[in-house]
Amino acid sequence: MSAVIELKATLEAKHAGRLIRDLSAGDAAGVVEITLDLRPMSFYEPLPLCIILATVRRWREKEGKKVEIKYYSNTNGGSYAERMDFFKHLGIEIKSANQRHDSKDNFITIREIDHRTDEASLGREISSCLVKDMSGQQATDTMYLLEYLLGELIKNCMQHSRGIGFLHAQYYPLDGMFYIGIADDGVGVSGSYRLSESPRYKPGATEVYMLGEALTVESSSTTHRRDFLGKESPNYGVGLPMCRALTEDSAGLFAIYSGDAYVFDNFGKADVTPMAPKMLGAAYGGVAVGLGFVRSAVGQTTFYQILNEVRIKLGLQKRDFSAERTGGFLS
């Protein structure tokens, strides 16, 4: 049985749920051959690009399905995707006659994440794009904070997903927004809690419930393994809650999809409060996270007020955070 999936011309972070529902046609019972039509591609943001890559990899590598990709590489959307190495990660080599433009600190090409990934180096590379217009102590402090947060997201993908992930980041000067997308083909939030034997895992609990757990301070699926992980893999269970708080403070965007559960917060709209996890209406095979920051807001003192509030919740208020920095991570 085969499935033909034609994706929309425009896929922004806010369309991730619709994208997952469209891709779910490839997960229907009996489907072994999939034609993914990317020819309408016009404008795709980082999160949708990463979701597509992680899904295609799952189909091919984990489920043994035959996947044919139809695409145009000479359109605006195709040219952009080619520059971001999107087609390369699909196993498509494109010999472009166009000059490969430098990033000018506006984007990070799509990177594959696995157990070999140096999360500190990659976190530092992304955060440097966010602080390129800053200077002095503001830039240094912001780098430390963002390296930690991004490092935890990357580490989540490496430690928790038990799969392969993809990460992409892009700055859009017209609206001043910096978007980060990361998606894996792993076991999902609930599976991570279960396989890590976390005391917070509840057999039979819905993915909606377990996603709510993951967004609770100090509720990482491996928080109970601190001594085992040691200093090289600190995971204090604040990565997702902190990222969410930072995007809220900067009037940004926070999105997470796992199984049939999701959260989407667009804090750029008036009177928006963090939403409780909801049912998606389709299942995503892994975890996908999207972050959007107003870059001009990054580095303001309110970010450190949020940091202190979370540290108090964790019982870490007596510890000197500035003295515990090791390449931007808590030690």
Q: Does 316 score more than 60 pLDDT?
A: no
Looking at the domain assignment, is residue 82 inside a domain?
A: no
Q: What CA–CA distance (Å, rounded) separates 283 from 24?
A: 7
- Exposure string over 288-321, b if 16+ CB within 10 A, otherwise e: bbbbbbbbebbbeeebeebbeebbeeeebeeeeb
Q: Model confidence over 173-188: pLDDT tens digits? A: 888 888 999 999 988 8
Orientation angle between helical segments 239-249 and 301-313, nearest 10 degrees: 150
Beta strands in 65-198 (DSSP E): 66-70, 107-113, 165-172, 177-184
Looking at the domain assignment, is residue 251 inside a domain?
A: yes
Looking at the domain assignment, is residue 226 inside a domain?
A: yes
Beta strands in the chain (DSSP E): 2-6, 10-11, 33-37, 43-44, 66-70, 107-113, 165-172, 177-184, 253-266, 278-294, 325-326, 329-330
Q: Model confidence over 189-229: pLDDT tens digits? A: 888 888 877 888 888 899 999 999 988 865 554 444 332 22
**What's the domain count of the chain?**
1
| CATH assignment at residue 283 | 3.30.565.10
Q: What is the pLDDT of residue 162?
A: 72
Looking at the domain assignment, is residue 19 inside a domain?
A: no
Q: Model confidence over 12-32: pLDDT tens digits? A: 999 999 999 999 999 999 999
Give 293 or 50, the one with higher predicted confidence.
Answer: 50
Looking at the domain assignment, is residue 190 inside a domain?
A: yes
DSSP letter for each residue of 169-214? EEEETTTTEEEEEEEE-S-HHHHHHHHTT-TT--TT--HHHHHHHH
Residue 239: which domain range? 103-330
Q: Does 164 score more than 60 pLDDT?
A: yes
Whether the model clears a pTM of 0.75, i.e. scores above it, the answer is yes
The CA-CA-CA angle for residues 22, 23, 28, to 5°, reads 100
Q: Does 56 score more than 70 pLDDT?
A: yes
Looking at the domain assignment, is residue 139 inside a domain?
A: yes
Give 198 or 61, the one with higher predicted confidence.
Answer: 61
